[in-house]
Chain A
Amino acid sequence: MIKYIVTRISTKHREQVLNKPVSESVQDRFTQSTSKFHFMNSATNNSLVKYCLRIADSSLVLGQRLGEWCGHGPILEEDIALTNISLDLIGQARAFYTYAAQLENKGKTEDDFAFFRDEREYYNLLLTEQPNGDFGQTILRQFLISTYSYYFYSALKTSNDSTLSSLAEKSLKEVTYHLRHSSEWLIRLGDGTAESHQRVENAIDELWRFTGDMFDMDEVDELLIKEGIAINLASLKEPWEKKVKEVFLKATLKFPENQFMIQGSRNGKHTEHLGHLLTEMQALPRTFPGAEW
């Protein structure tokens, strides 16, 4: 019962945050006497903006990739499932961009962040921008990220920042389904036919090197961890590995050890895939600047 009430309150709070005009909502944040952000200094605020952009960018880029599957899935049910996950991720991105815009308080919208930043200003995890490959590669990518997101949002739920915590709670419900869906498929493909097994092994070979990037932290994380706002990503590594090992075992897949990791998303360093993805996604608003859609 208590849990139910908490959910109701946080959902209501989120709706308030998302539906209010930006200025009103921001004002709220600084006038609520109970809010610790009464004292939020600009360094914390700037870090939190960047923190939100990182989460939103990863969701958007992965959602964009999954959207490419529309009409091309191996069976109709999976076509629908992949676009459904894409839809959840776009929704998460919109919520975190909106919050970033409120914190930044420069009159920006979710679309300004999504469509008018270049590759070097995007902070999505390297894994999210990797091409879909075959269905096996898409499922593996989804599994690795959904496992990460599951533990990430589980931890973020306890953030001191009430908006982050309520957004985490909502996202966690969706991500829990994404994790179940991708785990089940990974087990099916790993333990299916010789061909499907080999295809997933190839995907592991292709994608594993980007998994270290997920746990990378910098001064943004450090500052916000001190404030009790952000979570320590290093603490997610152990449960993440445990879950991945558990599912790999069921899928009869080898867990890679001691591989070199490619990192850099924290500083807007990316593989060359991202630029093309952004070019396609941003074309229309950039061709007609100032137009409303």
Chain B
Amino acid sequence: MHTPTEQERETEFQARIDRGEMIEPKDWMPERYRKQLIRMMSQHAHSEVVGMLPEGNWITRAPSLRRKAVLLAKVQDEGGHGLYIYCGTETLDVSREQMIDDLLSGKAKYSSIFNYPTQTWADIGAIGWLVDGAAIVNQTALAKCSYGPYSRAMVRICKEENFHHKQGYEILATLMKGTPEQRAMAQDSMNRWWWPSLMMFGPSDKDSPNSGELMRWKVKRHSNDDLRQRFIDRTVPQAENIGLKVPDADLKFNPETKHYNHGEIDWAEFYNVIKGNGICNRERLKARREAHQQGAWVREAAEAFAAKHKENMIAA
């Protein structure tokens, strides 16, 4: 029997992708495909978990009990997403412990947006509306990606993110209907979060090193710039609807293309935050490291207890 060569396997793999088939955990896949997915999925899971910190920052200070309850439920969802995607990533033969070690050592990344601080209550609205709004555009595209577990996770996660998006928008809409101080608070938040949200789609396609390969494998279905444009087109009217100004002097609707033209993104800021120089980079990793270190005795106790009572459990 002919054993397929690496080259033949790759050709067949690409043919499956081109036919629109889904790749499942037990299927053969090029090592590079596996590595890329681990990189993307773990980065996504880490983002969900690190993202709990800026929002968690306002749980104890939410301005009404209803807002407190909604925020608690929302942040809990994000934790659930993290858990779900970690499990999805484990199907690619990498353990959650390994992924967390990589995050804490700085080897693995998370979305840079969470290195910005939540300074006011309006920022909780901005995260839901802009940050989750941008994530939805990304994730709706990922829901059609070629790796089965990731694609299915995205379908489910998008449903919850849509709810988060609405609650964030509702927070800002309420502020915009409020006192002059509340309106100023909302606009200030818009001014601080708009550009970093646009940066969430990553560098322009010409500067995105992984894009070609990921597109060929249908892990990525659209370019960074296309997705960014989609986000701008749907978000600008929402901002106008509640009286928020988009902080971009060059923003203008182009009737020919039916898209908004926008100003230059400050990519120097983007790379600076990625390098670790954002306002909260250090605090975010420190918080995760401390949680992990301070939780070590709890995990050890749980393991010791389970080992001690293994026999009883089997007997029962």
Contacts and interface: CB of A to CB of B under 8 A. Distances in A.
Contact of A192 (B181, B291, B305): B305
B65 A97 contact: yes
Interface in A196-214: 196, 199
Interface in A264-293: 280-281, 283-285, 288, 290-293
B76 A73 contact: no
A74 B298 contact: yes
Interface string B75-104: 110011011001000000000000000000
B60 A281 contact: yes
A192 B65 contact: no
B258 interface: no
A71 interface: yes
Greatest chain A CB density within 10 A among B65, B68, B82, B290 is at B65
B304 to A, nearest CB: 5
Given A70-B75, A76-B82, A80-B79, A134 B294 contact: yes
Interface stretch (A30-38, A88-96, A150-158, A170-178): A88-96
Nearest to A70: B56
Interface string A68-87: 10111111111110011011
Nearest to B48: A76
Contact of B83 (A68, A80, A83, A87): A80
Contact of A288 (B49, B60, B182): B182
A110 interface: yes
B284 to A, nearest CB: 9
Interface string B154-187: 0000000000000000000011011101100000
B52 A79 contact: yes
A221 to B, nearest CB: 26
Interface in B95-142: 121
A64 interface: yes
A74 B304 contact: no
Nearest to A196: B301
A193 B308 CA distance: 10
B44 to A, nearest CB: 14
A67 interface: yes
A284 B302 contact: no
A195 B178 contact: no
Contact of A71 (B52, B174, B294): B52
Given A80-B80, A83-B76, A195 B61 contact: no
> A interface, by DSSP: helix, strand, loop or mixed?
helix
A283 B174 CA distance: 19
Contact of B69 (A80, A90, A187, A196): A90
Interface in B46-84: 49, 52-53, 56, 59-69, 72-73, 75-76, 79-80, 82-83
B6 interface: no
Contacts of A80: 76, 79-80, 83
A70 B298 contact: no
Contacts of A68: 59-60
B65 A291 contact: no
Contacts of B302: 188, 192
Contacts of B61: 280-281, 283-284
Interface string A181-196: 0000001110111011
A91 B174 CA distance: 22
Nearest to B79: A80
Contacts of A60: 65
B79 A74 contact: no
Nearest to A136: B298
A110 B79 CA distance: 28
Contacts of B295: 73-75, 78, 135
A87 B72 contact: yes
Nearest to B56: A70
Contacts of B65: 60, 90, 93-94, 97, 110-111, 114
Contacts of A292: 174, 177-178
B311 interface: no
A99 to B, nearest CB: 14
Interface in A49-71: 60, 64, 67-68, 70-71
A293 B301 contact: no
Contacts of B182: 288, 291
B232 to A, nearest CB: 28
B29 to A, nearest CB: 27
Contacts of A135: 294-295, 298
Contact of B72 (A77, A83, A191): A83
Interface of B: 49, 52-53, 56, 59-69, 72-73, 75-76, 79-80, 82-83, 86, 121, 174-175, 177-179, 181-182, 287, 290-291, 294-302, 304-305, 308
Interface of A: 60, 64, 67-68, 70-80, 83-84, 86-87, 90-91, 93-94, 97, 110-111, 114-115, 134-136, 187-189, 191-193, 195-196, 199, 280-281, 283-285, 288, 290-293
Given A90-B72, A284-B63, 9 more contacts: A67-B72, A70-B75, A72-B291, A76-B86, A80-B83, A87-B73, A135-B294, A285-B64, A293-B175
15 contacts: A71-B56, A76-B79, A76-B83, A78-B298, A79-B52, A80-B79, A87-B73, A115-B63, A188-B305, A192-B300, A192-B304, A195-B301, A280-B60, A284-B63, A291-B178
